[in-house]
Amino acid sequence: SQTIHQWPATLVQPVGSPLSLECTVEGTSNPNLYWYRQAAGRGLQLLFYSVGIGQISSEVPQNLSASRPQDRQFILSSKKLLLSDSGFYLCAWSGYGFTNTEAFFGQGTRLTVV
């Protein structure tokens, strides 16, 4: 069966510090991968998605970037965090191609920028 791992679960970082959140998927090949952010009282906002290694699409201009160095690894980064980057970050995957529609989420990372 497929599983998704996301870490760390909680992170407190000072303003101006770098960020690296990692997500890996097991039990499937060529998944579509996603990074979402969830703010209190708001719906999930898609930040980045990837349909293959090195292929990243950005949905929202911001202080963040994403990379996919391996087929089942997705990384969310920032060079300098802002207070507004605080939130609950979720990684998700869906099956390869355009016909597989369900997305499955990791357990999330609570990021607090202080």
Partner 1 sequence: EDQVTQSPEALRLQEGESSSLNCSYTVSGLRGLFWYRQDPGKGPEFLFTLYSAGEEKEKERLKATLTKKESFLHITAPKPEDSATYLCAVLGAGSYQLTFGKGTKLSVIP
Contacting positions for partner 1 (CB under 8 A): 6, 32, 34, 41-44, 46, 49, 51, 57, 59, 90, 92, 98, 101-108, 110
104 three-class SS? strand
Nearer to partner 1, 17 or 30 (CB): 30
* Complex with partner 1: residue 73 or 108, whichever CB lies closer: 108
**How far apart are alpha carbons 71 and 74 in whole angstroms?**
8
Q: Shortest approach of partner 1 to residue 81 CB, angstroms?
A: 21
Handedness of CA 49, 54, 60, 64 (dihedral sign): positive
User: Which one, 17 or 48, has the nearer CB to partner 1?
Assistant: 48
